[in-house]
Structure 1
Amino acid sequence: MKEVTAAIIIRDDLILIAQRGQGEKLQGKWEFPGGKLEKGETPQQCLKREIQEELDIEIEVGDFFAESIYKYATGEIKLLAYFCRMVRGKVKLSVHGDVKWVTVNELDGFDFAPADIPLIKRLKEEL
């Protein structure tokens, strides 16, 4: 099972979501940005690296939020989600097709990757 991280980046009561880009697995689906853990890396280190690489922003990783296990056709993943906040930078797209800042109630209006859906349900209960 692959371990993958997800950043729930909140700013002014809005949550950053990203749309998977052209040529990516699950192209067009929305997600909480993040990526695969590399050997010897903590989930927090992974999130900081992935968000810097993919969105060109620096984040501070906060509390663990939840995990979601999902079996895709390509294999099973364990998605580890953490609350994060932007420290500096302006979002620039490199692998994503789009990003949006949305309220928790607007999350249902987007076509999310299956592994992210349980996180949305829990966010709606807790925020």
Structure 2
Amino acid sequence: MSERRHLQVSCALIERDGAVLACRRSATMKMPLKWEFPGGKIEAGESAAECLVREVLEEMAVRVSIIEPLTPVTHDYATFTVTLYPFVCSIEEGEPVLHEHAELLWLPPDELPHLDWCEADFPIIADYRERLSARQKG
């Protein structure tokens, strides 16, 4: 029996004007038309943060600054396991361009749970909203 693939992936919760960027996977990608945060696979010798900056630049032509890391999430899908390393970010330079995704939306944090997300993203959304609420109560 072959060993189950375990992907290490960075993802960005990009904030702007009180909203967060959500990206919809294209119809040709695995998990077609599901929503996700932009990012990608961590390469050998690369930190999760370095990967995030590189992937968002490649995928969306945007330079981001990392504000803070969130709690990593490991999720078992039917054919593979993924560990997501989420980071809250802001745009340093550029406007998001769709190179890989079918659609993007800027949503208030309260509306994030209403989209049809990849399953691994739900705990990240919950963690992000809890931290945001704590930050606002300050």
TM-score bracket relative to the smaller structure: over 0.9
Please tell me the residue identity of whatever aligns with 2:71. Answer: A
Task: Quote the offset at 1:53 in angstroms.
Answer: 0.9
Instruction: Write the distance in 2 (CA, Å) between the matches of 1:74 and 1:87.
Output: 36
Counterpart of 2:21 in structure 1 is 16
Instruction: Write the distance in 1 (CA, Å) between the matches of 2:45 and 2:26.
Output: 28
CA RMSD of aligned residues (A): 1.0
TM-score, with length taken from structure 2: 0.88
Instruction: Write the distance in 1 (CA, Å) between the matches of 2:85 and 2:30.
Output: 19
Query: What do the CA deviations read for 1:8-52 (whole angstroms, capped 9, x no partner)?
Result: 111111101100112101110001111100111111110111101
Instruction: Write the distance in 1 (CA, Å) between the matches of 2:131 and 2:69.
Output: 13
Counterpart of 1:73 in structure 2 is 78
Picking from 42, 45, 59, the partner of 2:47 is 42
Counterpart of 1:117 in structure 2 is 122
Instruction: Write the distance in 1 (CA, Å) between the matches of 2:45 and 2:67.
Output: 20
Counterpart of 2:60 in structure 1 is 55
Picking from 80, 85, 90, the partner of 1:85 is 90
Are 2:59 and 2:100, in contact at CA under 8 Å, matched by a contact in 1?
A: yes
Unaligned runs of 5+ in 2: 1-5, 133-138
Structure with greater strand percent: 1
Instruction: Write the distance in 1 (CA, Å) between the matches of 2:58 and 2:27.
Output: 17
Picking from 102, 107, 121, the partner of 2:107 is 102
Picking from 6, 9, 34, the partner of 1:29 is 34
Q: Secondary structure at the match of 1:95?
A: coil
Please tell me the residue identity of whatever aligns with 1:16. Answer: L
Task: Quote the offset at 1:58 in angstroms.
Answer: 0.7
Q: Which has the higher Rg, Structure 1 or Structure 2? A: 2
Unaligned runs of 5+ in 1: none
